[in-house]
Structure 1
Amino acid sequence: MMGDRDFRAIIQNSLDSIGRELQLDIDSENLQTIHLQEVVQCLRRSYFDRIDPLEIERRGFNELLSGLLRKQKYGSEPKEFEIGDIKLKGETDMLVDDIVLIFRSAEKEIENPLANDVLYLNACLWIYDKHDGIIVYVSGDRKETTFSVTRSKKMFEEVIRRVRVLNNLLKEQKAPILEPSTECSECQYFERCFMKKKNSKHVDIGEMLGLGKFGGKD
């Protein structure tokens, strides 16, 4: 607080405003158009985002990296890939000299790309009919790590399978199965999938059973 102004709230509102401007435009009623981001992340999360969404706090500009880059001169227009009567809609961050690039933020330099980022880039290669792509991870200290990817049909078939699964479950109004990952604890739907978050307390089994302190002397 400086004076009567809550600058943290002002900054957070600004980030939220930018985020809404850059976020994917997903029509939750159009079940025949599935966005690529929906199927490379947890399907359960994507389902709740459409059926009964909860807002998530935006923590900083790193989360907006891809959206900001798509607005630059190398940004590409969204494209669709037809899967029967379903359309898979994807968008790459940059398309330069037939090379597809996506940018992701990272807390530190990483040794291997994240699986969902590889799935996303590989699918973009098929959607844009390109053969090679690059994932660029940018850490908080502006160091970058790059990984090159050549498109894989088998990997794209897995994305297509997930498109069909999400499409069917949205029609049936059935939540997808759990896909536990390290991202669950930060997900806004954590309590729908697991238990309500509480501060844990230590319970002495011996005292609970009337036997005194567990492990104590006779």
Structure 2
Amino acid sequence: MLGSRNLREIVEKNLDKLQEDLSVKIDKKNPDKIHAIEATGCTRFAYYERRDPLPSDNVSKISSLLGNAMRHSFGNTRGEYKVEGLSLEVNADLIIADEFVVRFEVVQTLPEVPHPRHLLYLNACLFAFNKDEGFLIYMTAEGKTVEFSVTKNNRMFEEVIRRARVLSTLLKDGKAPIVEPSELCLNCRYYERCYARKQVKDEGTGFILEEIFKPKK
């Protein structure tokens, strides 16, 4: 009978293998090939993932597996847009009627407006596949959905190309991109590399609040 420790190791190794098989394929050794998922997200995160990666925790692995497994079930078509020595790569979840590009995003709660990084990514797909319109569909674990229509936009694509060029140049120079503060930082495994923090001793005493709100003499 397997011990709990051996069983955990076996499960984690299989999770790692499955994640590797389903994850977006990025040529991390070639700085002239940038995936749109890198250019539309935090470029500092993308830099560390290529140059000095940290392992994902199990929560991140499982969340990634759920999204990637769904994408592969739809087809997950790969595309590419080349411009002046730079290759921008994309993955589209679905192309419907050879006309519309569809991208799915699994979220905890349905957004009222699309997330900017998701809009930029889907727009990059439109250019890579030479399509004029796409649909961004958000889904929750409970099966609730909301969709947004996205029309091809030159200015948004120019921004993605600019960010891809910056990342490509910094990878070649071995210099990390500037910090891009956002809500994503809170759960990022590279948080400590971007932000210095010092925990106050005797946490829970509330001495700072007591000092602020104490009665004035």
Shorter chain as denominator, the TM-score bin is 0.7 to 0.9
Amino acid at match of 1:88: L
Q: CA deviation at 1:61?
A: 4.9
**Number of residue pairs aligned between Structure 1 and Structure 2:** 211
1:91 pairs with 2:91: yes
Please give the alpha-carbon distance, in whole angstroms, between the structure 1 residues aligned to 2:212 and 2:145.
54
Larger Rg: 1
Please give the alpha-carbon distance, in whole angstroms, between the structure 1 residues aligned to 2:104 and 2:49.
23
Residue 42 of structure 2 is matched in structure 1 by: 42
Amino acid at match of 1:188: R
Q: Check 1:148–1:61 CA distance in 2 against 1; reply closer, same or farther (3 A cut).
A: farther
Q: CA deviation at 1:4?
A: 4.2
Q: Check 1:215–1:157 CA distance in 2 against 1; reply closer, same or farther (3 A cut).
A: same
Amino acid at match of 1:25: K
SS at 2:50 equivalent: helix
Q: CA deviation at 1:216?
A: 6.3
Please give the alpha-carbon distance, in whole angstroms, between the structure 2 residues aligned to 1:5 and 1:110.
40
Q: Map Cα deviations across residues 136-182 of structure 1 (whole Å, 9 max, x no partner).
A: 11112111111111110111010011011111111111110000000
SS at 1:20 equivalent: helix
Residue 189 of structure 1 is matched in structure 2 by: 190
Unaligned runs of 5+ in 2: none
Q: Which piece of structure 1 moves more, 196-205 or 30-39?
A: 196-205
Q: Is the 8 A contact 1:33 1:89 kept in 2?
A: yes
Higher normalized contact order (CA 8 Å, seq sep 6+, divided by chain length): 2
Residue 121 of structure 2 is matched in structure 1 by: 120
Please state which structure has a larger fraction of its residues in helix.
2
What TM-score do the two structures reach when normalised by structure 1? Answer: 0.85
Please give the alpha-carbon distance, in whole angstroms, between the structure 2 residues aligned to 1:179 and 1:41.
10
1:23 pairs with 2:16: no
Query: Which portions of structure 1, spanning 4 or more consecutive aligned residues, are displaced by more than 6 angstroms?
Result: 6-9
Q: Check 1:76–1:16 CA distance in 2 against 1; reply closer, same or farther (3 A cut).
A: closer
Q: Check 1:140–1:38 CA distance in 2 against 1; reply closer, same or farther (3 A cut).
A: same
Residue 158 of structure 1 is matched in structure 2 by: 159
Amino acid at match of 1:123: A
Q: CA deviation at 1:127?
A: 0.5
What TM-score do the two structures reach when normalised by structure 2? Answer: 0.85
Please give the alpha-carbon distance, in whole angstroms, between the structure 2 residues aligned to 1:155 and 1:39.
12
Amino acid at match of 1:71: H
Please give the alpha-carbon distance, in whole angstroms, between the structure 1 residues aligned to 2:111 and 2:212.
46
Q: Which piece of structure 1 moves more, 8-17 or 55-64?
A: 8-17
SS at 2:89 equivalent: strand
Q: Check 1:110–1:56 CA distance in 2 against 1; reply closer, same or farther (3 A cut).
A: same
Amino acid at match of 1:82: K
Amino acid at match of 1:132: E
Q: CA deviation at 1:13?
A: 4.6
Q: Is the 8 A contact 2:77 2:93 kept in 1?
A: no
Please give the alpha-carbon distance, in whole angstroms, between the structure 2 residues aligned to 1:213 and 1:183.
31
Amino acid at match of 1:176: P
SS at 1:34 equivalent: strand
Q: CA deviation at 1:69?
A: 3.4
Q: Check 1:40–1:204 CA distance in 2 against 1; reply closer, same or farther (3 A cut).
A: same
Please give the alpha-carbon distance, in whole angstroms, between the structure 2 residues aligned to 1:70 and 1:173.
32
SS at 1:111 equivalent: coil
Quote the RMSD (CA, aligned, Å): 2.8
Unaligned runs of 5+ in 1: none
Q: How does 1:167-182 map to 2 (within 5 A)?
A: 167-182=168-183
Q: Which piece of structure 1 moves more, 13-22 or 110-119?
A: 13-22
Please give the alpha-carbon distance, in whole angstroms, between the structure 1 residues aligned to 2:4 and 2:194.
38
Q: CA deviation at 1:71?
A: 2.6
Please give the alpha-carbon distance, in whole angstroms, between the structure 2 residues aligned to 1:64 and 1:194.
28
Q: Is the 8 A contact 2:71 2:104 kept in 1?
A: no
